[in-house]
Structure 1
Amino acid sequence: MSVYECVMHIADLNFVSLKVYKKVAPNNKIVLYVENREVVINGSSPPVIRGVVIADSEYLQSHSLYGQLVLVFRYGREDEEVMGLTFSNIIILQTQQLHPMKESPQTDGPPRSTLQKTIERHLSACGVAHAFQFQVSSCAPPSVSLYPAKSYTGAPLGTSYEVHFFAGKAQSEKPLRRASVRMTVRLCQLPPPSCGPAPRNAVLKQFLLSGGRVHLEVSLQKEVFVQEQSIAFRVFVNNGCKRTVRKIKAEVVQAVDVAMFKSGKFKSVVASVETTEGCPVVTDATLVRDFELEPRVGSFKNWIALEDSPERGGRLSPSVVESAVDWSNFAVHVSYYVKVKLLLSGVGGGVSVRVPFISVRETAAEPETEAAEKAPDKAPAPAADSNGDTQEIVAADVHATKAEGAADAGHEPAQNNNVQLDENGKVFVRQESCARSSDV
Structure 2
Amino acid sequence: RLPLYCLHFPLLVICSKCTCSQPGLPDLSIKTSPMTLLACAFRYGREDLDVIGVSFRKDIWIKRIQMYPFEGTKPPNTPIQDALLKKAGDQGHPFTFDIPVHFPCSVSLQPAPEDAGKPCGVDYEVKAYIANEEDETDEKVDKKDTCRLIIRKIQYAPNQLAAGPKTDLNKQFITADKPIHVEASMERELYYHGDPIPIKVKVNNETSKVVKKIKISIHQITDVLLYSVDKYDKCVLNEEFADQINGNSTFEKEYRVTPLLANNKEKRGLSLDGKLKDEDTNLASSTILLPNMDKQIQGLVVSYKIKVTLMMGGGLLGSLTLRFESLHFISMSQ
What residue is the counterpart of 1:271 in the other structure?
237
CA distance in 2, matches of 1:312, 1:154: 19
Alignment RMSD, CA only? 2.6
Confirm whether residue 334 of structure 1 aligns to residue 295 of structure 2: no
The correspondence for 1:193, drawn from 141, 159, 177, is 159
Cα 1:209–1:267 change in 2 (3 A) is farther
What residue is the counterpart of 2:120 in the other structure?
157
Confirm whether residue 31 of structure 1 aligns to residue 3 of structure 2: yes
Deviation at 1:352?
Answer: 0.6
Confirm whether residue 119 of structure 1 aligns to residue 89 of structure 2: no
Map residues 126-165 of structure 1 onto 2, 5 A cutoff: 128-165=91-128
Deviation at 1:195?
Answer: 4.0
Query: Unaligned 5+ residue runs, structure 2?
Result: none
The correspondence for 2:327, drawn from 316, 341, 360, is 360
Map residues 241-390 of structure 1 onto 2, 5 A cutoff: 241=207, 243-260=209-226, 263-277=229-243, 279=244, 281-297=245-261, 298-299=263-264, 301-307=267-273, 308-309=275-276, 314-331=281-298, 332-346=300-314, 349-362=316-329, 365-367=330-332, 370-371=333-334
CA distance in 2, matches of 1:176, 1:60: 19
Question: Which amino acid in 2 is paired with 1:180?
Answer: T
TM-score, with normalisation over the residues of structure 2? 0.87
CA distance in 1, matches of 2:310, 2:32: 69
CA distance in 1, matches of 2:277, 2:212: 36
What residue is the counterpart of 1:21 in the other structure?
none
Residue deviations 1:189-232, cap 9 Å, x none? 23433443333222223346755322111122433222111112
Deviation at 1:271?
Answer: 1.7
Cα 1:159–1:209 change in 2 (3 A) is farther
User: Which SS does the other structure have where 2:85 is aligned?
Assistant: helix
Deviation at 1:101?
Answer: 3.2
User: Which SS does the other structure have where 2:59 is aligned?
Assistant: strand
Confirm whether residue 87 of structure 1 aligns to residue 56 of structure 2: yes
CA distance in 2, matches of 1:179, 1:226: 41
Query: Unaligned 5+ residue runs, structure 1?
Result: 1-28, 372-440
Cα 1:48–1:119 change in 2 (3 A) is same
Do the aligned partners of 2:4 and 2:21 also contact (CA within 8 Å) in 1? yes
Moved more, 246-255 or 219-228: 219-228
Deviation at 1:351?
Answer: 0.8
User: Which SS does the other structure have where 1:119 is aligned?
Assistant: helix
Cα 1:121–1:110 change in 2 (3 A) is same
Deviation at 1:160?
Answer: 1.1
User: Which SS does the other structure have where 1:325 is aligned?
Assistant: coil
Deviation at 1:264?
Answer: 2.0
Residue deviations 1:161-191, cap 9 Å, x none? 1111111212331112122111112112234
Residue deviations 1:65-121, cap 9 Å, x none? 111111110122445544453311124431111223344xxxx43211011122122
What residue is the counterpart of 1:237 in the other structure?
203
TM-score, with normalisation over the residues of structure 1? 0.67
CA distance in 1, matches of 2:132, 2:201: 66
What residue is the counterpart of 1:4 in the other structure?
none
What residue is the counterpart of 1:76 in the other structure?
45
Confirm whether residue 224 of structure 1 aligns to residue 196 of structure 2: no
Map residues 90-109 of structure 1 onto 2, 5 A cutoff: 90-103=59-72, 108-109=73-74
